Structure 1
């Protein structure tokens, strides 16, 4: 599937991460944006009422074979169970906690991604402790071989490594016959993500990888999942 370029030719985008604004946002536009290499993020905290559309000049991506799984993470994973799409609303709500630093998930984003989940385009991975508590997770958009990670969280008291365990489960799910063409988009690279194997690539290289990823079949997402 070719990119739709709903934001115009990439060579005409500004040489900065923020490439456009819009007054409106809806699920169809969000999906077209991801297919174009762009993602939304509200700008209310910066004093703007518009939605910002972003395509970082240096994109953070996690190749599936680059995830750094330490011995301690493997040991930690044994103390948790994971599910897929079993508690999407809880994961989304935890990621949107206004008490988190640099929070950006507003009510509009909550509604749109919930609708995309119901349509089968958005997915969550949940991590549970041995008391049955949701202690970590992540969510993102899946289109062909692209998984666009939106946010992740962990319970600081009961699940220090729980978000990493969720990421490990995600990589395991995506690792199939098409793994070489699949990518996990993390938007930006942070020191924490770099420690897990996330690398930075130029925008142009990301868009080339995106073309290949969109041509790959969807991952075998279960709608519900037994504990694993």
Structure 2
């Protein structure tokens, strides 16, 4: 397409190879890095080789552990989600907002609170830039020369403002605590290991993409299937009551 070779696949084995078994053999191109730069920065999804392995080492301990407080945070946001669902709100939208709120609080220390606010500039801006980046990628090398702030200046500014404000609060929080407490979140851990503001911002976007979108899709699909099979839902309720 436009002078570039574009390979599309929906074969499960190919997808598994790219995302899991042969992940390190499928390097991200310079064009891909440039196109997704405003969303990913130099986060793990934009890295290759040893840099990727280093970031995995930082993220894995936080991604693989479950703390008691995580359940409390999740329950708090679930209550807001159930309130919306009871009013007949769009299920996918509610689940997406739920995941965003939970992930940002658990891993970043501060929730976006999209379920309790009608103002969702960051969420909308991220969705906008992801769509633009996907379109630019389809254009191959030509897409590199199309800038996000040309097509969506407001969304670009919203992302920059949110991440800058978040980094400011995170560094201020750690200075106030004088680094005496054990790091609770991924962001706190990065700061206490001397990582830069840009590293913190990269971690936020990486966490959102890794922790929100896949889970949102899986939960929405499960919700849909359960709705199609009420007998399964009845069985699930019975098991919970036992």
What TM-score do the two structures reach when normalised by structure 2? 0.24
What TM-score do the two structures reach when normalised by structure 1? 0.25
Greater strand fraction, Structure 1 or Structure 2: 1
